[in-house]
A = this chain, B = another copy of it.
């Protein structure tokens, strides 16, 4: 079976993002032998938590990226909250629409978790 999974974060709530990051950490720890993709899709006000200048969980995000997790931010949300790409944490991917990304991943067989 496939263990690929998309975690969805949309609130500008550092505690909720922290919970989602802990989810990913636990997930990766639990499956050391498996091959799969772990993606966090961030849309809505939550994109503000990925601005380099104020990112409350920058170190944890970087550590998860180094373990293979991918962070994808919604371009619509970045536009709405007036955030430029160069102001984002390193290695975050910008996708045209977060909701489309989530649906495409589910259609590819990814499970969906909303922390």
Compute how far the CA of A19 lies from the CA of B9 in the bound complex, rounded to whole angstroms.
12
**Would you call A3 and B103 a contact (CB within 8 A)?**
yes
Compute how far the CA of A8 lies from the CA of B99 in the bound complex, rounded to whole angstroms.
13
**Would you call B44 and A100 a contact (CB within 8 A)?**
no
**Would you call A100 and B31 a contact (CB within 8 A)?**
yes
Q: Which of B8, B26, B27, B31 contacts A114 (CB 8 A)?
A: B8
Pick 26 A–B contacts, CB within 8 A, sort by A. A1-B104, A1-B107, A2-B107, A3-B103, A3-B107, A5-B99, A5-B103, A8-B114, A10-B19, A10-B115, A19-B44, A19-B45, A22-B44, A23-B43, A23-B99, A26-B74, A26-B97, A26-B99, A27-B103, A31-B100, A44-B115, A102-B113, A112-B112, A112-B113, A113-B114, A114-B114
